[in-house]
Amino acid sequence: MSEFRLAVVQLQVTSVKADNLNRARRLVKEAAGQGSKVVLLPECFNSPYGTSFFSAYAERIPGESTQVLSEAAKENKVYLVGGSIPEEDGGGKLYNSCTVFGPDGELILKHRKIHLFDIDVPGKVSFQESETLSPGSSLSMFETPFCKVGVGICYDMRFAELAQLYSRRGCQLLVYPGAFNMTTGPAHWELLQRGRALDNQVYVATASPARDETSSYVAWETGTCYLQYLADIRQQIPITAQRRDDLYAVTCVQEGSS
Ligand SMILES: O=C(O)CCC(=O)C(=O)O
């Protein structure tokens, strides 16, 4: 199939988990009703984003939230990239984890955020995910009838090497559930996506929670991935074939598992 519709669901996230889950379920249905075959939810779609919330909202996988995702994928026959949730691994560790479900409702993969969001921009934004979360240690890719897809979460997008590895392993779409802030968002949100896409000649899709939590309006978007367009660009500007593998390489030193 040379093209398919992708929905980016920019849903409102509140402190009421049940509402977040119901909203996600409703919007996945709406997106599928409009022809989307792949649906992407934002980072921390079931919980407010913040280190003080993670342990209270954390769940085992499978658990309540991933059950809803599985059902939503199956009911609507879509590939559902379920944003992320705080995951509790049963041994006391917490992760920021994205689960992906197939149209049959089966869990395809779980991606634990590899790069934790620890930054300090004085007077603007300071965040230390590593205060409460542990990092994942796996690359995460899945096949669809349309193309192969690489998965990262938010800060993972800043690491060009990860996107390069995904691209070199055949991914034509990279998805990053995210939740940038009002400092780095305006500066880098779009730029990073375009950078990853341009360097690797792939599509890049991101989903963020809606900004205005009091608004009843929930913004979401769909777009079409034209795979022939990628093939054309790769033929016209053949950087893949021109790469000097004799001089440099991006390699994965540890596959890990998470
Ligand atoms: O990279 C950034 O500026 C934001 C990252 C972020 O918000 C996250 O990883 O959750």
CA distances from 74 to 105, 107, 139, 145, 217 (A): 4, 11, 25, 16, 26
Alpha-carbon span 254 to 201, nearest angstrom = 25
Of ligand 1's listed atoms, the one at least distance from the Cα of 49 is: 10
Ligand 1: residues whose CB is within 6 Å?
43, 117, 154-155, 158, 179-181, 184, 188
Per-residue confidence in pLDDT tens, the chain, 258 aa: 799 999 999 988 999 999 999 999 999 999 999 999 999 999 999 998 889 999 999 999 999 999 999 999 999 999 999 999 999 999 999 999 999 999 999 999 999 999 999 999 999 989 999 999 999 999 999 999 999 999 999 999 999 999 999 999 999 999 999 999 889 999 999 999 999 999 999 999 999 998 755 644 344 578 899 999 999 999 999 999 999 999 999 998 876 544
User: Which ligand 1 atom sits closest to the C-alpha of 44?
Assistant: 10
Peptide bond connecting 186 to the previous residue in cis, omega within 30 degrees of 0: no
Q: Of all atoms in ligand 1, which is nearest to the CA of residue 125?
A: 3
56 neighbors 24 (Cβ within 8 angstroms): no
Compute, in angstroms, the gap from residue 232 CA to the centroid of ligand 1: 33
The per-residue pLDDT for 215 is: 46
CA–CA distance, 218 with 235 (Å, rounded to integer) = 39
Q: CB-hemisphere CA count at 13 Å for 58?
A: 23
Determine the pLDDT at residue 214. 60
Q: Is the pTM of this model over 0.80?
A: yes
In order of 25, 48, 57, 61, 199, the CA distances from 19 in angstroms are: 10, 12, 13, 19, 39
Question: What is the Å distance from ligand 1's center to 139 Cα?
Answer: 18
Domains of the chain: 3-242 (3.60.110.10)
